């Protein structure tokens, strides 16, 4: 049967084009790959190649014709043994055929138009916060720094699962640039505690590949600032591939290291990536404040079958907290912690922001204001229910973080609170954030660029109309 040659789509956006020039004529033999015509698309003039071999039986659209719709028959190709007489009625007249094709096209568009729009997110349910304790009452506690907690979490998980290994700059022989990986080389050897060259982009990618190969890498960035070199691998490779592979290629990997401002290290070394990574579907994002959370959440992160961004803080490394003495202690993702119960205002924070939040709550208590302080702990998945239930109780909310103000975690929480608890609010939500400037070096300016306990108290005063 003669084959109709159709007007091709030659770019992702092309709907019609000009048949600029025929390079073959009726009776010519064409082979696969031969250039048959020049076609002007919305982008450029393109050469149109033959796919099948045969003889040009009839040219249906003359050269120079503009506005030829994609999929309109433009010529008829005869196979071996066929003649022009075999050309059926359907392709005998270009005009009639293209009208038919137009109908087909409009049918297609119509059916596309009929597709039901998909809801952007499910309807908002009533918040049901999980208020269960993180460990049983009466559990023995021990004092531990955040640094020790992270170290012991990794050691326990590496003892547990031989596929867990750590790689990064100075993690092995140097014992960690911030001494987080102390003693690990001695216990696990160079196969599982791998010093990398200073090459974040490369080793982040190697980590992701190793995870696909069945291992459970912990990739340490000396600081998250340097992970900017690797962000393509984190987002395009680690976060998206499970989706792009239809669920075949999950990536069980932890990217961790200190995040946010340390002290006097200026703009390139002082940035909070909480909101950046929380933006990305496919990632899980954790930013612990206490040593107990650092330990319990890191153990969960290592066991999680997904890529986890674990944001630590250099200033918090040396702080001590009570940590439960339990054989296998983990904290689940997506469960915030009420660090301090209260009735008058909700202060939501995470990571080092908790320092300001708790200090502000102490001072406010002296003035008779009872603040409920929530530590989000994980930013993705985010425990909206605990926040919403608290705001529905206190009717006021202040968020606290060190990151930049535009598109901050606080902005996002404000939007969710507005959507789901609008009628409960007695005042607009205020976001306390870092200032909208690169971090300055000078001590006085650096202090101004960060948020502060004072700013949190002022915000609480504002939302409580004091």
Catalytic residue IDs: 200, 269
Candidate list 60, 78, 185, 211; residue touching other proteins; CB under 8 A: 211
Task: Specify the pairing of strand 337-340 against strand 371-375.
Answer: antiparallel
* Rounded-to-10 torsion of CA 312, 316, 318, 320: -110
Cβ nearer to other proteins, comparing 170 with 455: 170
Scanning 11-19, 269-277, 349-357, 382-390 for contacts with other proteins by CB under 8 A, the matching segment is 11-19
CB of 70 to other proteins, least distance (A): 6
* 70: contact with other proteins by CB under 8 A: yes
Q: What is the rounded CA–CA span in Å between residue 252 and residue 271?
A: 26
Candidate list 20, 24, 155, 206; residue touching other proteins; CB under 8 A: 206
Give backbone dihedrals phi and psi of 196, rounded to 5 degrees, phi first. -105, 160
Scanning 196-204, 318-326, 348-356, 418-426 for contacts with other proteins by CB under 8 A, the matching segment is 196-204
Cβ nearer to other proteins, comparing 242 with 320: 242
Cβ nearer to other proteins, comparing 241 with 431: 241
Q: Are 431 and 411 in contact (CB under 8 A)?
A: yes
Q: What is the rounded CA–CA span in Å between residue 71 and residue 99?
A: 11
Q: Which residues pair with 5 in a beta bridge?
A: 75
* 207: contact with other proteins by CB under 8 A: yes
Give the rounded distance of the alpha carbon of 299 from its chain centre.
21
* 282: contact with other proteins by CB under 8 A: yes
Q: Where are the beta strands (DSSP E) in 234-350?
A: 253-258, 284-286, 307-312, 320-324, 337-340, 345-349
CB under 8 Å to 244, separation ≥6 — which residues? none
CB of 299 to other proteins, least distance (A): 10
Q: What angle do CA 285, 447, 295 make, to 5 degrees?
A: 30
Scanning 259-267, 326-334, 358-366, 402-410 for contacts with other proteins by CB under 8 A, the matching segment is 326-334
Scanning 8-16, 85-93, 359-367, 417-425 for contacts with other proteins by CB under 8 A, the matching segment is 8-16
Q: What is the rounded CA–CA span in Å between residue 178 and residue 180?
A: 5
Q: What is the rounded CA–CA span in Å between residue 400 and residue 351?
A: 10
User: CA nearest 348: which of 274, 292, 294, 297?
Assistant: 274
Site map for other proteins, 15-54, x if CB under 8 A? -----------------xx-x-----x-xxxxx-x-x---
- As given in the structure block, the two tokens for residue 445 are 């300016």
Residue owning tokens 């597709």:
115
- Count of residues binding other proteins (CB under 8 A)? 68
Candidate list 155, 228, 249, 265; residue touching other proteins; CB under 8 A: 249
* 324: contact with other proteins by CB under 8 A: no
Q: Contact residues for other proteins (CB under 8 A)?
A: 6, 8-12, 14, 32-33, 35, 41, 43-47, 49, 51, 70-71, 116, 118, 165, 191, 196-197, 199, 201-215, 232-233, 236-237, 241-250, 252, 281-282, 284, 300, 303-306, 328, 330, 332
């Amino acid at each position: 049967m003669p084959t109709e040659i159709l007007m091709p789509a030659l770019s992702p956006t092309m709907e019609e084009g000009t048949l600029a020039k025929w390079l073959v004529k009726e009776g010519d033999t064409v082979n696969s790959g031969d250039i048959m015509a020049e076609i002007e698309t919305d982008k450029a003039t393109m050469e149109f190649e033959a796919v099948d071999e045969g003889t040009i039986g009839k040219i249906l659209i003359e050269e120079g014709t503009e506005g030829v719709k994609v999929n309109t028959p433009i010529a008829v190709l005869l196979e071996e043994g066929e003649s022009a007489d075999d050309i059926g009625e359907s392709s005998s007249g270009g005009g009639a055929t293209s009208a038919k094709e137009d109908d087909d096209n409009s049918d297609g568009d119509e059916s596309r138009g009929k597709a039901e729009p998909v809801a952007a997110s499910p309807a908002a349910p009533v918040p049901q916060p999980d208020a269960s304790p993180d460990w049983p009452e009466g559990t023995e506690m021990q004092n531990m720094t955040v640094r020790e907690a992270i170290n012991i979490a990794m050691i326990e998980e590496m003892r547990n699962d031989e596929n867990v290994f750590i790689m990064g700059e100075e993690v092995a022989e140097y014992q960690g640039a911030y001494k987080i990986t102390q003693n690990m080389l001695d216990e696990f050897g160079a196969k599982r505690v791998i010093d990398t060259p200073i090459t974040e982009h490369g080793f982040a990618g190697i980590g992701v590949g190793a995870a696909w190969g069945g291992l459970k890498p912990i990739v340490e960035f000396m600081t998250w600032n340097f992970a900017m070199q690797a962000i393509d691998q984190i987002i395009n490779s680690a976060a998206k591939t499970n989706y792009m592979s239809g669920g075949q290629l999950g990536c069980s990997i932890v990217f961790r290291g200190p995040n946010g401002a340390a002290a006097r290290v200026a703009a390139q070394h002082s940035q909070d990536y909480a909101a950046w990574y929380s933006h990305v579907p496919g990632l899980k994002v954790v930013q612990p404040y206490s040593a107990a959370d650092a330990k319990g959440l890191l153990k969960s992160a290592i066991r999680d079958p997904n890529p986890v961004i674990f944001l630590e803080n250099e200033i918090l490394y040396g702080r001590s907290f009570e940590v439960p003495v339990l054989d296998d202690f983990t904290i689940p993702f997506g469960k915030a912690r009420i660090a301090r119960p209260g009735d008058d205002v909700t202060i939501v924070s995470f990571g080092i922001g908790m320092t300001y939040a708790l200090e502000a709550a102490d001072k406010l208590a002296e003035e008779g204001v009872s603040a409920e302080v929530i530590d989000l702990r994980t930013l993705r998945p985010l425990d909206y229910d605990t926040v919403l239930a608290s705001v529905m109780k206190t009717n006021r909310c202040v968020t606290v973080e060190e990151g930049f103000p535009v598109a901050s975690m606080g902005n996002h929480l404000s939007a969710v609170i507005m959507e789901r608890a609008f009628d409960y609010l007695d005042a607009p939500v205020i976001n306390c954030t870092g200032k909208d400037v690169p971090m300055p070096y000078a001590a006085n300016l650096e202090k101004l660029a960060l948020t502060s306990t004072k700013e949190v108290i002022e915000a609480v005063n504002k939302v409580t109309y004091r």
